[in-house]
Amino acid sequence: MFQEYLSGMLRQERVRRHMTQEQMSRLLHISRQTYCNYETGRRCPSMDMLIQIFEILKIPAEQVLTGLPAFTAQDRQLLMDFHRLAPQQRVRALELIRSMLSS
């Protein structure tokens, strides 16, 4: 399932940036067929290759891995603040957030 999502996202982001598979393969120092296989889901790129692809396409890894839009600076600060809470405080914070979302 993730491989299908990843392959579709790679193609979508490449096309959005008006790049060809040939251009991507040259930048990555791989054959066009290998890159094509990434986009069709026949092969899954290594983690090192994924990082290179994300850098070329300017895609935050967190966006790909979570399927969510890229985190803003405010999102990151909120996560850092949450992780500074004591375990009991985290539980209370999550309960409060869930109650707010359900009402």
pTM, two decimals, is: 0.64
Name the pLDDT band for 55 (thresholds 50, 70, 90). Answer: very high
102 DSSP 8-state letter: H
Q: What is the mean pLDDT of the chain?
A: 90
Q: What residue ranges do the domains of the chain occupy?
A: 2-66, 73-102
Question: CATH homologous superfamily of domain 2-66?
Answer: lambda repressor-like DNA-binding domains (1.10.260.40)
- C-beta of residue 39 within 8 angstroms of C-beta of residue 14: yes
Res. 1: pLDDT tops 90: no
Name the pLDDT band for 26 (thresholds 50, 70, 90). Answer: very high
